[in-house]
């Protein structure tokens, strides 16, 4: 048997010494345990409660095969004891079925079924944040290892035969997102933006850039204008340059505030070409940190923890 | 000059890092646009590839990729994962649709000494070349489609309520684990005939 190579838990070792169980023990011990539980299940239990009660030894066996040990509680700990991993795993497995659409609903459904809670050895369902913390704490490695050990157990029970043919295929999984919300428009606080560009002088940064030569085609936009556009793009937190450009195209007032009067807005590649002829932006903008900081410090509405909301708000 | 260090740091970050690009609500940064040829539908999200044992339909392995990656990209990682977990030597022939019928995949199958029964391009379509073998392969392969269908009905497969690739992987892992777990439970409670229907397992005596 494949399970002989795994070291048993202390309790199992003890039972082995007392000759209560014989080798190969983990699988047989589990089957015995399941039979014992079957006899003890109260008549009031419905199917799901029965399944939960009978699932416990199986989850225990898989965790045992994974060589997983419940983290020990620190001595002198005053807090409430945590929910065992087996119970949390069972709740997660149940929440993946059609009985619940979300972890919040799992919490509500468990609390509405005292028998299920009894089968899980719980008085109250864990909060959905507890479940979330559990998933985060364990990580994908734990769940992946659990899945593979469970597959191994299927071989152990003879439910997958050696030499079975396999089929591979894929299916789409839609992401969790609200398309309506993600496509909603944003509005710039125009007065604040105007105040910013009126107050902050970009001349020190412009002086660091070598002026263009008189040869060749005349430049359409000044370096100052491009720097102002970069400041606008970064400060207003646009996700991409083209998004900032599109915003300027749709809002001529904002474009005028930034400096693009007459409705002429540079394309993304034009800005890129201008930036190629300039020193790196962080190097140029380092002289602007002081005036920009002073501006923000003088503003009563500025919030350090959420700086973008100063200019930007969702509509 | 007395300057609030928080403001200075925030301003510096605004200028010099892309991390402060907050903008409009960004739902799932790892989800990508993909196309489902069977449904003729574009979608935003992920693609889950599973390996199903033909006869009784337990899931042997799974792999999650962003939706913009082609199906074939999941084949080799799955083979390697199965090899790592010791499943590969215990399985028989490989069936799959023609998306997996690439030279690279067939070489890997040869390397692991596995028989490739993946649909070739010639065996697909309304007038396949080798009608008989194509029909035989289709009969075996079609079982996996029912696995996806049942997963969708019983385990809410096909949509996730979490964001980020890592969380989606955990969620998918829990879904396939749940499938195998209730499959095993149906055997333990002597109701193996209800292994596929969770409704019957849960609500019928």
pLDDT over 70 at A21, yes or no = no
When CB atoms are compared, the residue of A96, A164, A236 closest to B54 is: A164
Contact A304 B4 (CB under 8 A): yes
- Alpha carbons A116 and A50: distance in angstroms, whole number: 8
User: Could you tell me if A135 and A191 lie in one domain?
Assistant: no
Is the pLDDT higher at A302 or at A168? A168
How many domains would you assign to chain A?
Answer: 2
User: Could you tell me if A40 and A137 lie in one domain?
Assistant: yes
Contact A165 B54 (CB under 8 A): yes
Contact A307 B117 (CB under 8 A): no
Q: Chain B: residue nearest A62 by CA?
A: B181
Q: Give the pairing type, strands A164-174 and B91-96.
A: parallel
First to last CA, chain B: 78
Kindly report the nearest CA distance between residue B144 and chain A, in angstroms: 6
pLDDT over 60 at A183, yes or no = no
- In the listed set A139, A156, A173, which residue is the last one of a domain according to the structure? A156
- In the listed set A120, A136, A156, which residue is the last one of a domain according to the structure? A156
User: Could you tell me if A61 and A152 lie in one domain?
Assistant: yes
Evaluate whether residue A76 is within a structural domain.
no
User: Could you tell me if A134 and A214 lie in one domain?
Assistant: no
pLDDT tier for residue B18 given thresholds of 50, 70 and 90: very low
pLDDT in tens, A60-71: 999 988 888 888
Evaluate whether residue A170 is within a structural domain.
no
User: Could you tell me if A188 and A295 lie in one domain?
Assistant: yes
- Tokens, residue A86: 């087996």
Evaluate whether residue A294 is within a structural domain.
yes
Mean local confidence (pLDDT), A2-13: 49
Q: Give B-chain residues touching A178 at CB under 8 angstroms.
A: 25, 27
User: Could you tell me if A87 and A135 lie in one domain?
Assistant: yes
pLDDT in tens, A212-253: 777 777 788 888 899 889 888 877 767 778 888 988 898 888
Evaluate whether residue A77 is within a structural domain.
no
User: Could you tell me if A229 and A304 lie in one domain?
Assistant: yes
Evaluate whether residue A107 is within a structural domain.
yes
pLDDT in tens, A150-159: 999 998 888 8
Pick the residue of B86, B115, B171, B177 with the most A CBs within 10 A to test the interface with A by mutation.
B177
Kindly report the nearest CA distance between residue B122 and chain A, in angstroms: 19
User: Could you tell me if A151 and A206 lie in one domain?
Assistant: no
User: Could you tell me if A150 and A6 lie in one domain?
Assistant: yes
**Percentages of chain B per state (helix, strand, coil), in multiples of 5:** 50, 20, 35
Beta-strand (E) ranges in chain B?
32-36, 41-53, 59-66, 91-96, 116-118
Give me chain A's average pLDDT, please: 82
* Interface size between A and B, measured as CB pairs under 8 A: 299
Report the share of chain A in percent with pLDDT over 70: 83
Pick the residue of A140, A144, A171 with the most B CBs within 10 A to test the interface with B by mutation.
A171
When CB atoms are compared, the residue of A153, A155, A163 closest to B92 is: A163
pLDDT in tens, A217-226: 778 888 889 9
Beta-strand (E) ranges in B71-200?
91-96, 116-118
Evaluate whether residue A171 is within a structural domain.
no
When CB atoms are compared, the residue of A34, A174, A235 closest to B45 is: A174
Phi, psi of A105 (to 5 degrees): -70, -35
pLDDT over 90 at A73, yes or no = no
**ipTM reported for the complex, 2 dp:** 0.85
- Alpha carbons B88 and B103: distance in angstroms, whole number: 20
Mean local confidence (pLDDT), B46-72: 90
When CB atoms are compared, the residue of A97, A172, A302 closest to B45 is: A172
Beta-strand (E) ranges in chain A?
164-174, 186-188, 312-314
Contact B23, B158 (CB under 8 A): no
Q: Residue A71's pLDDT is what? A: 83
Evaluate whether residue A164 is within a structural domain.
no
Could you tell me which residues are beta bridge partners of residue A168? B51, B96
User: Could you tell me if A104 and A215 lie in one domain?
Assistant: no
Is the pLDDT higher at A231 or at A303? A231
Could you tell me which residues are beta bridge partners of residue B64? B48
When CB atoms are compared, the residue of A150, A170, A281 closest to B71 is: A170
Q: Is the pTM of this model over 0.90?
A: no
Long-range contacts of B133-137 (CB under 8 A, 24+ apart): B137/B95
Q: Residue B23's pLDDT is what? A: 40
Kindly report the nearest CA distance between residue A198 and chain B, in angstroms: 18
Kindly report the nearest CA distance between residue B133 and chain A, in angstroms: 16
Evaluate whether residue A199 is within a structural domain.
yes
pLDDT over 50 at B92, yes or no = yes
Which residues form the domain of A308?
Answer: 184-314
Is the pLDDT higher at A278 or at B4? A278
Weakest mean pLDDT among A136-140, A200-204, B12-16, B38-42? B12-16
Contact A93 B173 (CB under 8 A): no
User: Could you tell me if A146 and A205 lie in one domain?
Assistant: no
User: Could you tell me if A240 and A150 lie in one domain?
Assistant: no
Q: Tell me the Ramachandran region of residue A169: left when phi exceeds 0, alpha when psi lies from -120 to 50, beta otherwise.
A: beta
The total number of residues shown for chain A amounts to 315
pLDDT in tens, A38-67: 888 888 899 999 999 999 999 999 998 888
Weakest mean pLDDT among A163-167, A301-305, B23-27? B23-27
Q: Residue A137's pLDDT is what? A: 92
> Where do we find the tokens 């040829």?
B37
């Amino acid at each position: 048997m494949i399970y002989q190579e795994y070291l048993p838990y202390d309790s199992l070792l003890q039972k082995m010494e007392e000759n209560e169980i014989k080798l190969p023990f983990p699988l047989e011990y589990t089957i015995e345990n399941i039979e014992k539980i079957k006899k003890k299940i109260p008549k009031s239990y419905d199917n799901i409660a029965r399944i939960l009660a009978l699932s416990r030894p199986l989850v225990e066996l898989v965790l045992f095969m994974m060589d997983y040990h419940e983290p020990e509680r620190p001595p002198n700990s005053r807090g409430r004891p945590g929910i065992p991993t087996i119970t949390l795993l069972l709740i997660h497995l149940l929440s993946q079925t059609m009985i619940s659409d979300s972890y919040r609903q799992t919490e509500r459904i468990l609390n509405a079924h005292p028998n299920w809670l009894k089968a899980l050895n719980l008085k109250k369902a864990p909060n959905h944040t507890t479940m979330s913390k559990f998933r985060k704490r364990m990580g994908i490695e734990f769940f992946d290892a659990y899945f593979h050990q469970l597959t191994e157990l299927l071989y152990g029970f003879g439910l997958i035969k050696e030499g079975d043919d396999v089929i591979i295929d894929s299916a789409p999984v839609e992401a969790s997102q609200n398309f309506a919300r993600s496509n909603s428009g944003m509005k710039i606080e125009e007065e604040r933006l105007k105040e910013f560009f009126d107050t902050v002088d970009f001349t020190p940064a412009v002086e660091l850039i070598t002026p263009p030569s008189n040869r060749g085609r005349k430049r359409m936009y000044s370096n100052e204008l491009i720097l102002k556009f970069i400041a606008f793009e970064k400060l207003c937190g646009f996700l991409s340059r083209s998004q900032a450009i599109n915003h300027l195209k749709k809002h001529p007032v904002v474009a005028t505030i930034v400096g693009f009067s007459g409705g002429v807005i540079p394309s993304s590649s034009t800005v890129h070409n201008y930036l190629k002829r300039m020193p790196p932006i962080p190097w140029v903008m380092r002289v602007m940190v002081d005036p920009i900081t002073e501006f923000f410090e003088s503003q009563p509405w500025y919030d350090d923890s959420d700086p973008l909301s100063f200019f930007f708000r969702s509509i | 000059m007395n300057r609030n260090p928080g403001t200075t740091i925030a301003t510096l970050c605004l200028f010099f890092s892309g991390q402060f690009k907050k903008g409009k609500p960004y739902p799932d940064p790892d989800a990508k646009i993909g196309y489902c040829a069977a449904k003729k539908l574009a979608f935003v999200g992920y693609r889950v590839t599973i390996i199903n044992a033909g006869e009784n339909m337990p899931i042997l392995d799974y792999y999650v990729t962003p939706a913009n990656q082609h199906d074939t990209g999941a084949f080799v990682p799955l083979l390697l994962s199965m090899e790592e977990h010791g499943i590969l030597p215990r399985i028989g022939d490989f069936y799959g649709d023609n998306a997996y019928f690439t030279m690279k995949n067939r070489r890997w199958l040869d390397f692991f000494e596995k028989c490739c029964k993946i649909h070739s391009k010639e065996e697909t379509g309304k007038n396949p070349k080798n009608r008989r073998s194509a029909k035989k392969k289709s009969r075996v392969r079609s079982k996996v489609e029912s696995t996806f269908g049942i997963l969708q009905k019983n385990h809410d497969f096909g949509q996730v309520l979490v964001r980020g690739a890592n969380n989606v992987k955990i969620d998918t892992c829990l879904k396939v684990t749940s499938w195998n777990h209730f499959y095993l439970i149906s055997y333990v409670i002597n109701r193996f005939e209800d292994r596929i229907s969770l409704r019957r397992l849960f609500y019928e005596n």
